[in-house]
Structure 1
């Protein structure tokens, strides 16, 4: 049985479904834990059109409470979280978000470069028309390394999201990966194997097999997640992801409760 810790709600404005539909999907998928981790608000608003606003937080807490109530008769554990975007200097805001609720974990993600450049938005592909792939990758991985080094997050979200549209530098990618992996290991955070990449143009999980192999060699913990934005994607492609994890050398997956991580055996390992 798996835990799916990266899922969303309609409050982020680009997801669909009710608490009941998500819980039912998690039960059908045979999950042991269903984690809700919608896109966290940002300090300045309006910021973008695909995240919760600050005023939505009470409604989000109500959504979490309803999901827990619906899940209880099925023996399904619901975990509560936020997916937080990383920017230089964002640390005080993350601490503020942490104080709003007794979250089980926080996911750290990088969706923006520069001041406010969206590199993974299909409606803003002009970024890739005016940005060299090597420059984007360099900035992305520097930002990802700094996010991991902050120690503010339990889970490192979709590590190589920068490849979403298939743009990669030529040659060995290890120099991009190694500093970020060192920071993840030093922080004690968990890496996410995110199946959503199979549903995007890159047609590959996040992160790639090389990154997974390096993480396993370094003893970094792992969790598998769907990044579901609709109920039917909860737990999607987990057996395929688990096989990749086993091939990389992982033997356990991580679970979270009130910020504390524990490991359980990876099924089939």
Structure 2
């Protein structure tokens, strides 16, 4: 049975659904664990228009508590988490978030380059009209490497999100991937196979097959997640993802409780 650890709630302002709807969908999908991991608040509010605010944290914890109550009769385990954005110098803020609750895991993600450039926002495509693709990829993977090396996160979210709209440098991409994967190997962070990419412009899971194979060869652990922003997307394409994971060389998936990782055979 699968665990879906990357999901959202309406508190992030770009997702929909109730705790009951998400739990029902997770039960229908046959999940063993459903992790709630909405976009964490950032300092300097308003930071953007697609994440929880600091004042929303009590409502978020209530949302998780309601999901747990609804899930209990079904034998479904609810995990509590946050998806945290990485910026240079953000470490004290992440440590502050860690202290707010007994999270089961934190997902680290890179959604911004430069000072505050959104590269994956479909409403801000002007970024790609004025950006050199190789420069953007270099900066993205440097940030991803630093995030992985920080040791602050259990899961590295949608590793090659930078390709979301299909913009990639030419040639072999391994020199972007290798430093980030080595940082993950040293810190013990887990790679996420995120199925949402199949439904975006890149039409490919995050991360690509080459990076998945490299990660498997290095012994980096794996989770499979949907990045669901609505209940019907919980557990989406997990059998397809598991088949890809096996072909890439993975034999196990990771689960988390109170920050600790446990490995189980791929379903």
TM over 0.5: yes
Aligned to 1:175: 175
RMSD: 0.3
Instruction: Please give the residue correspondences for 1:153-192 in structure 2 after superposition, counting only pairs within 5 Å.
Output: 153-192=153-192
Structure 1 gaps, min length 5: none
Partner residue, 2:22: 22
Is 1:93–2:85 an aligned residue pair?
Answer: no
Structure 2 unpaired stretches of 5+: none
Shift of 1:230: 0.1
- SS of residue matched to 1:39: coil
Q: How does 1:87-236 map to 2 (within 5 A)?
A: 87-236=87-236
Query: 2:225 and 2:94 mapped to 1: Cα distance?
Result: 22
Q: TM-score, normalised by structure 1?
A: 0.99
Q: CA deviation at 1:103?
A: 0.1
How many residue pairs get aligned? The number is: 267
Does 2:50 correspond to 1:50?
yes
Structure-2 residue corresponding to 1:31: 31
Distance 1:54 1:161 in 2: 25
Distance 1:204 1:215 in 2: 17
**C-alpha separation between the residues in 1 aligned to 2:215 and 2:65?**
35
Segments of 4+ in structure 1 off by > 2 A? none
CA-to-aligned-CA distance 1:142-183 (integer Å, 9 cap, x gap): 000000000000000000000000000000000000000000
How far the C-alpha of 1:86 sits from its partner, in A, is 0.1
How big is each residue's C-alpha offset from its partner over 1:20-75, in whole Å with a ceiling of 9 and x where there is no partner? 00000000000000000000000110000000000000000000000000000000
Displacement of 1:95 = 0.3
Report SS of the residue matched to 1:255.
strand
User: 1:249 matched to which residue of 2?
Assistant: 249
Residue 265 of structure 1 aligns with which residue?
265
C-alpha distance in structure 2 between counterparts of 1:258 and 1:48, whole Å = 29
Shift of 1:198: 0.6
Aligned partners of 1:253, 1:132: CA distance in 2, in Å?
A: 36
- Distance apart, 1:261 and its partner CA: 0.1
* Alpha-carbon distance between aligned partners in 1 of 2:21 and 2:123, rounded to the nearest angstrom: 28
| Distance in 2 separating the partners of 1:99 and 1:17 | 27
